[in-house]
Amino acid sequence: MTTKLKFPQGFFWGTATSSYQIEGAWNEDGKGESIWDRFSHTPGHIERGEMGNVACDHYHRWQEDIAIHKELGVNGYRFSISWPRILPQGRGAVNPKGLDFYSRLVDGLLEAGIQPFVTLYHWDLPQALQDEGGWPARATAEAFVEYADVVSRRLGDRVKHWMTLNEPWCSSLLGYQIGEHAPGHHDWKSALAAAHHLLLGHGLALPAIRRNSPQSEVGIVLNLIPTEPASPSPEDYDAFRYFDGFFNRWFLDPVFGRGYPADKVLEYAAQGFLPPTIPLTDGDWGFVKSGDLQAIAQPIDFLGVNYYSRSVQRSPVIPEHQNQPRTVHVAPESEWTEMRWEVFPEGLYRLLNRVNYEYQPRKIYITENGASYSDGPDAAGQIHDERRIAYLRSHLEAAHRAIQNGVPLAGYFTWSIMDNFEWAHGFAQRFGLYWVDFATQKRLPKDSALWYRQVIAGNGLTI
Ligand code: FCB
């Protein structure tokens, strides 16, 4: 017997991308340099020395890309705007050609019956702002407000769904402390300041977006990882709390008006437990000015959740374990994607319930979910990516259960419509529903694209 898992009426089915990962045209039509241009042009940062100069050439092929979305039948498409395309120096002079590009894209989507879901910041900070200190500098939050104002003034009559930031954990911790992302720094204190200024930029930009686009909804996108201790030992419990604190609550708590988590997380941060261990002193928190937490806690209309996997934690906070992997996946029989991320759909169910129960967002969208598998075309040009279909199906089933449980989930955006530039991993990690031949820029539907089309057409799953 087949059961139909129907999703609510009006549910948004979509895909997601970001500017640097698909657009290319890195120095065309007046675009300024971004930190990802600089980072990828510097040898040693990206696997095989790859870079996003051309990527999927979406800047020139956007009409074809709208057409494949139309073919899929999506009613939503989440993309991001390249800040240095709009303000090449990060603030001040506006590049009209940059604004025109996104204006045409928005019109094209609307003509195709697709609602644009616009992310303002998906990691491509103008290099000019990085040269003045980047996100660790408070002035970058102010520049972000100027940028959000310029964009929402131009597109605000047509765009009804805005996201300020994508995954501020990555832009701060991965960029300024772990160094795997642009600008590639290793400085714990500036990573914390960066996280704060990202959140501040989010909070301060909200009123500007609402003013310019009054009929719209505005939210933020967080990458959240459900976490559990590897064992019941107090050390593993601490490790779990610390990871959950730094990864999830560090962003959820202030956005939902609770300030920064005051439990173990601050205690560990004060001792500088993330290597390199530079103890924080009280003075180091000086970047949090009076009124900031109120600004960050401006009400949002929805929370965007990016979910890929879970994490199981064991005692990273014990000094003698510091050179061991912090994340232990307790289920050795687990399946993994090619990103080495465990396939764990139950985590999505738990996460959605937890966020709903603890923070009560008005609405949630799954703004990213997907899997990297490199299955390519066979001799007949067909792409049998069964593992991706299984991944998406199991996660949609989990999302459906969460809705049954009362979670106000209003849409699902799979990452991604097509294979693209996967940051430090370059082009080898393929997340797309469409295969991209990067030599010819041909897009070929994988079996998962055909499957997703059916899901959308039926507004649900047959299991
Ligand atoms: C997320 C990013 C997105 C993409 C996926 C795989 O962390 O937001 O750009 O790279 O991971």
Ligand 1 atom, smallest distance to 21 CA: 9
CA-closest residue to ligand 1 atom 5: 415
Is there a contact between 123 and 36 (Cβ–Cβ < 8 Å)? Answer: yes
Peptide bond connecting 183 to the previous residue in cis, omega within 30 degrees of 0: yes
Interatomic CA distance for residues 248 and 355, integer angstroms:
10
Q: Residue 393's pLDDT is what? A: 98
Angle of helix 188-212 versus helix 138-155 axis, rounded to 10:
30
Structure tokens at 402: 């969460």
Alpha carbon of 289 to ligand 1 centroid (Å): 31
Alpha carbon of 291 to ligand 1 centroid (Å): 31
What is the residue range of 200's domain? 4-462
Q: Residue 275's pLDDT is what? A: 45
- Is the beta carbon of 372 within 6 A of some atom in ligand 1? no
Q: Residue 323's pLDDT is what? A: 53
Ligand 1 atom, smallest distance to 372 CA: 6
Task: Indicate which residues carry an active-site annotation.
Answer: 167, 368
Q: What is the mean pLDDT of each run of 10 residues along the chain (463 residues)?
A: 89 99 98 99 98 98 98 98 99 98 99 99 99 98 99 98 98 94 92 96 98 98 95 86 90 94 67 48 76 96 98 70 58 83 96 98 99 98 98 98 98 99 98 98 98 98 87
- Is the beta carbon of 349 within 6 A of some atom in ligand 1? no
Strand partners, 284: none
H or E stretch covering 62: helix 58-72
Q: Residue 3's pLDDT is what? A: 78
Give 218-272 as a DSSP string.
Answer: EEEEEE---EEESSSSHHHHHHHHHHHIIIIIHHHHHHTT--S--SHHHHHHHHT
Q: Using the Cα atoms of residue 45, residue 243, residue 250 and residue 358 in order, give the sign of their dihedral.
A: positive
Q: Residue 327's pLDDT is what? A: 62
- Is the beta carbon of 167 within 6 A of some atom in ligand 1? yes
Kindly report, residue by residue over 35-58, the tens digit of the pLDDT: 999 999 999 999 999 999 999 999
- pTM > 0.85: yes
Q: Residue 337's pLDDT is what? A: 94
H or E stretch covering 452: helix 447-458
Q: Residue 321's pLDDT is what? A: 54
Is there a contact between 420 and 431 (Cβ–Cβ < 8 Å)? Answer: yes
Residue with tokens 């299991």: 463
- Is the beta carbon of 15 within 6 A of some atom in ligand 1? no
- Is the beta carbon of 166 within 6 A of some atom in ligand 1? yes
User: What is the number of structural domains in the chain?
Assistant: 1
Interatomic CA distance for residues 244 and 247, integer angstroms:
5
Ligand 1 atom, smallest distance to 423 CA: 10
CATH of the domain at 455: 3.20.20.80
Kindly report, residue by residue over 249-308, the tens digit of the pLDDT: 999 999 999 988 877 666 666 555 444 444 455 566 789 999 999 999 999 999 999 999
CA distances (Å), 157 to each of 74, 108, 145, 183, 214, in order?
21, 15, 18, 34, 8
Nearest in space to 158 (alpha carbons), one of 108, 96, 208, 94: 108
